[in-house]
Amino acid sequence: DGGKILLNFIEAIRRKPLSENVEAGITLVGVGFLVILMLLVTWNDIERYFIH
């Protein structure tokens, strides 16, 4: 998973682990972006097939 790789990279640079709350927050933001992207793509498909 790209998000986990990014978190591991950040931990390697800092040389200490991120707190669970920070890791959960970053994960939540990433999931939120994915949900928004899925909604936009779905809306675009609906608009293209049924409205135009």
Q: Where are the domains of the chain?
A: 2-51
What whole-number distance in Å separates Cα of residue 5 and Cα of residue 24? 14
Looking at the predicted structure, is the pLDDT value of residue 52 above 80?
no
What whole-number distance in Å separates Cα of residue 19 and Cα of residue 6? 15
Looking at the predicted structure, is the pLDDT value of residue 49 above 80?
yes
The predicted model scores a pTM of 0.74
What whole-number distance in Å separates Cα of residue 52 and Cα of residue 35? 24
Per-residue pLDDT reduced to its tens digit, 1-43: 788 899 999 999 999 999 999 999 999 999 999 999 999 999 9
